[in-house]
Amino acid sequence: MIRLAVAVGMAITMFGCSFRHANAQTFDRLVWQDDFSGDSLDYSKWEVEVNAFGGGNHELQIYTDRPENVRVEDGCLVLEARRDNAAISGTSREYSSGRVRTKHRGDWKYGRIEVRAKLPQGQGIWPAIWMLPTKDEYGGWAASGEIDIMEMRGQQPNVVLGTLHHGAPWPNNIHTGDEYTLEQGTFADDFHTFAVNWRANEIEWLIDGKSVQKQTRWESSGGKYPAPFDQPFHLLMNVAVGGGFLGPPDATTEFPVQMLVDSVKIYQ
C-alpha cells in the first residue's frame, strides 16, 4: 500500500511453476480470527487509524474513527469512503475513509493470512489488504519490508495486485509482484478470499484458494536473506482515495463506496 517512488523490481516466480527449494510447510492451526459477528469493532483486535495526511502517496482522503467511515454492520466490517469534507485536528479534506490495523494486537511471523472481502470500485478508489513490520528491524520503509496481500485500482475492478516492497530505504526501495485478472465479473460483484502463505523462503498469494503467484527472492539493505520477511508483521485494511498509483476520482465515481470484510483468519 505504501508505494512512493520505486526502482526496478527483482525477478519473481509465477503461476504454478515448481520450485525445488520451496518450503512445503502447511498452516492448519487457527490462531487468530474475527468474523465481525457483533455490533461493534473488537478493539482488543483492531486499532482504527486517524490520519489527515494522505498516507504518503498523495492520497486525497482523511482517515477518521467516525462510524460513517468505520463500523461493524450485518456481520461485516465496513470501511467506507465518502465525499463529505470531514475534518479532524483542524484539517479538513474533500474525502474521508476508514483504515484499521492489528498492530500490537495481532502480530505474526509466518502463517496463512486470509481475508474474505467484497471490494469497492470506481475511478480513484484504492482498496488494500496489506502487512507492515511491527518493528523496523532493518531500517525505514521499505528496508524492513511490506507485504501487499491485495490492492486494486477501482477503475480496473477485475484486476488485483500482490506485491512485496523491500530493498533499501526510500528512494532506493524496490518492489516485486504481479497482478491477477478475474475470469468473470469484478471483485465488486461478490465476496472473494484473498490470502498469502508466508513461509521462511517463499510467499505465495491465493485468491479463492487458487495459487496465483509465488515469490522466493527478496532483499534488504539491513540484513541477510530471508530479511526483511523474517520478523513479525501486522495486518492493515483500508480504502484510499486518489494518489499517484491510480489518479483522482472523476465524474463517474459514485460515493459513498464500501469495502466489506466478512472475516479475517490467521493460521500457523
Mind telling me the catalytic residues?
A: 146, 151
CA distance 252 to 122: 7
CA distance 6 to 177: 13
CA distance 104 to 115: 19
β-strands 202-207, 30-34: how paired? unpaired
CA distance 107 to 105: 7
The C-alpha cell at 48 is 482504527
The number of angstroms, rounded, from the C-alpha of 85 to the middle of its chain's C-alpha atoms is 25
Residues 197, 206: contact at Cβ < 8 Å? yes
Q: What are phi and psi of 16, to 5 degrees?
A: 80, 5
**Around 53, how many Cα atoms within 13 Å sit in the side-chain half-sphere?**
2
